[in-house]
Structure 1
């Protein structure tokens, strides 16, 4: 239509600009002092072609627009100023920003589907972790809620700020950490307490990207970020469906006979070749177990609904159904340091496969350690795996991040001598290695049980709090990321299907 401009075409050379847009995000910056009006109104506009631009109402004009503009509403807006898009945290990639003024005319439009409601443009894990990624732009991220750290309080200048660190699985098997401060931490707690059973898919719109300790992490901006849980939006549904399809395509491995699975269906690779893959894949590796990694964390607690739990005050809380539990069902999650003649890696074995290999349930191994009162010991049955050679069917997930050290989920494993010999005949790989240790770092992390004393472990969230207590709020937001515990293993393993083994629960008294 004549006289209506596209957002992409906005520039200072055009007179009498006029656009039809939807306000997909609106927030205010507070005034200092006793002024009842905000210092400014900040917005992000979207048009029907997907163009986005940042728009502002400065303090002198706030009173004119404060009750005129609403988030989610479509408008025709004309006669506004144009400035350069500068700043540390930009909401769009447009070269310019819009400034509303006394001449600006705002006309509300009838609701129309021609302009999308949210305009999400989700950024992938690999894009965020690509070398040289520009962290000055806020991004949209969608992911499954995979982990939650304990809520902490930061005391600064007589003020208290609540914060929580979460983990998001934004690509299948690829996890990113995000720090949530203030109201965003409260929103998270409200969702966790809602008893929502539909799964936890989180959308973070206009979230900050930071490089912290040589890895890319996320954190909310002071006011501009918006957070959604289980949003019914087409792009979010597409994200969920992509995970479902991938899980279905690999879920039948357990039903394949051993010889077919290990010798006929999947390609045999060395560990070095695993790390050279450029696409997601499933393959076979012949390797020797060199050590057990993350020794206190070879198990996790499971709810009656078959989902993982996390520490919540003096109880445990289910990450899916939200119920509070005094006791939990332990399940295996064993991180194996493995090696062949080409390289070394971390293979992760979950409950179903671990029970078949160890021929004992997690409860049966954990009981003696509880009686001793020391969960930091490595069970003898796990230690007996060291120096043994197995055929592993593993999943390969790709990352372009040079600092990303991948682990590989084990779908199936066997030490059957006949199968190993047949595999060697088909794939003549020398694996007789004199392993002397030290090739893979054995990390010491905190226990999944809050209050448990683990020798050598560090409370990184507390350490972070001490480090930033003396810094200002902007520095606090810049250094908000700390490691968290993983809530859910991959969906296939966090649900135990057809499990008829002992369902005994372990009640763990937590320290006060």
Structure 2
């Protein structure tokens, strides 16, 4: 063995070992969430063979090491304890980890000939449906951002947390959904706020894998203080990824409204691409008893829910029930807070303040009527057996190119000539129009009546038929023409 040991050669019996390593990641761990007091400093190294090993600096030695060890640089380190790897979420699957002490010494050395093993990138297909993967092992992935969603506030066990969802796509079109929490949100949010045209490539270092309730579903999440999102660097990993893109001119669609509920670990690898979209009609949902998640192209024909908001964890959120139609069918879809907020353009609490006293959905919600879009819905047995049950919407897509490709006939359905917001049953002119047009009047379907005595009853019947209220301010007098029958 030479002057330096390899990570695989470390032993708990040796306290004076020396090792030559490159710093992959260094970060501070606070004593508690939100605290400025430091509990420890953590460093992740790799040796000349690429073996990764974790090192920890206890609280009592923070001052000695606070400004030491920069990422990417190479160091010689000597005199440290070799202890069992006790981390729950592991940056390394090595049996041991290094623990610095008062005798530990280090020195930065030349890195010209030292190998570069900064990232251990996992392919997207290798993550999906792979039960052999250890969910406690933190991994690295790289992809281009194809969706970014507005940040959200969540409450867990009485504690407020902030999260942001986004979707990454690899060079082959496979997609994975990601959720970043708390301190990681601002950097992602900064990209959400920007209007970017070039594809945004991000390498997520030391992230967690989470498998969903369905086989194969996977989601990527940030892991406490260790996760790092690296954007558009000049390293070889980024260059290689960009060169592998099939469509390098692809533009990142910032502020995407296509979204699914946070913390629902859906497989997004099959979604939102034109050649993979599983599209069904509303009629097929009912007649073929389709169970699962499907894309449905439909037009919003009306707002069903009289109350469009609900309380959740003490926060006012949207819950909007829509009536949607396609060329042959119709159904009720339930739109939840995130999608509704993006479509309406205002938070539920703000809209509630503007329209506290109202008996009908406000204009901002009514404006959804006549909009065409693709809905990702969940169909269960109860939705098919109860026709008045609303299908929950997990994801929406308003991309006009996809709509033109999959459902051009939906886009061709004309809008109503009379705006629903303008229609008021107290409007005398509308009632007059119903009653005065003999050619189209429903009176033509009634049996002929004779005599003035029948006139009042006919008018009352018509008014009752066309009015859902009995409180019209004024109804103009109309005489009903009665033809003689020979």
For the 8 Å contact 1:147–1:484, the answer to whether it is kept is no
- For each residue in 1:278-310, what CA deviation from the matched residue of structure 2 results, as whole angstroms up to 9, or x when unmatched? xxxxxxxxxxxxxxxxxxxxxxxxx9x795752
- Pairwise CA distance, 1:138: 0.7
Indicate which of 330, 336, 341 corresponds to 2:279: 336
For the 8 Å contact 2:293–2:376, the answer to whether it is kept is no
1: CA distance, partners of 2:139 / 2:333: 31
- For each residue in 1:74-95, what CA deviation from the matched residue of structure 2 results, as whole angstroms up to 9, or x when unmatched? 2111111111123320111212
2: CA distance, partners of 1:334 / 1:145: 19
- Written as runs of structure 1 = structure 2, the 5 A alignment for 1:397-476 is 447=339, 449-451=342-344
Local SS of the residue matching 1:204: strand
1: CA distance, partners of 2:398 / 2:121: 26
TM-score (norm 1): 0.52
- Pairwise CA distance, 1:241: 3.1
- Written as runs of structure 1 = structure 2, the 5 A alignment for 1:147-296 is 147-155=147-155, 160-170=160-170, 172-214=172-214, 215-244=217-246
**Structure 1 partner of 2:89:** 89
Local SS of the residue matching 1:450: helix
For the 8 Å contact 2:200–2:252, the answer to whether it is kept is no
**Structure 2 partner of 1:397:** none
Kindly tell me: are residues 493 and 203 of structure 1, through their superposed partners in 2, closer, same or farther at Cα, counting changes over 3 Å?
farther
1:310 paired to 2:256 = yes
The number of residues matched between the two structures is 325
**Structure 1 partner of 2:138:** 138
Local SS of the residue matching 1:80: strand
- For each residue in 1:400-453, what CA deviation from the matched residue of structure 2 results, as whole angstroms up to 9, or x when unmatched? xxxxxxxxxxxxxxxxxxxxxxxxxxxxxxxxxxxxxxxxxx996655753458
- For each residue in 1:297-350, what CA deviation from the matched residue of structure 2 results, as whole angstroms up to 9, or x when unmatched? xxxxxx9x79575259xxxxxxxxxxxxxxxxxx999742399x9x99999899
Q: List runs of 5+ in structure 1 lacking aligned partners.
A: 249-302, 313-330, 351-364, 387-441, 461-482, 497-501, 507-512
For the 8 Å contact 2:74–2:109, the answer to whether it is kept is yes
- For each residue in 1:97-126, what CA deviation from the matched residue of structure 2 results, as whole angstroms up to 9, or x when unmatched? 111111111101235363427333334333
- Pairwise CA distance, 1:207: 0.5
1: CA distance, partners of 2:112 / 2:243: 27
**Structure 1 partner of 2:423:** none
- Pairwise CA distance, 1:23: 1.3
For the 8 Å contact 1:333–1:349, the answer to whether it is kept is no
Q: List runs of 5+ in structure 2 lacking aligned partners.
A: 259-273, 305-319, 345-364, 370-374, 379-392, 406-410, 416-486
Local SS of the residue matching 2:168: strand
- Pairwise CA distance, 1:19: 1.5
- Pairwise CA distance, 1:198: 2.2
- Pairwise CA distance, 1:136: 1.0
Kindly tell me: are residues 444 and 369 of structure 1, through their superposed partners in 2, closer, same or farther at Cα, counting changes over 3 Å?
closer
1:109 paired to 2:109 = yes
Kindly tell me: are residues 68 and 173 of structure 1, through their superposed partners in 2, closer, same or farther at Cα, counting changes over 3 Å?
closer
Kindly tell me: are residues 66 and 132 of structure 1, through their superposed partners in 2, closer, same or farther at Cα, counting changes over 3 Å?
same
1: CA distance, partners of 2:190 / 2:324: 37
For the 8 Å contact 1:140–1:204, the answer to whether it is kept is yes
TM-score (norm 2): 0.54
State the structure with more CA Rg: 2
Question: Which has the bigger relative contact order, CA under 8 A and spacing at least 6?
Answer: 1
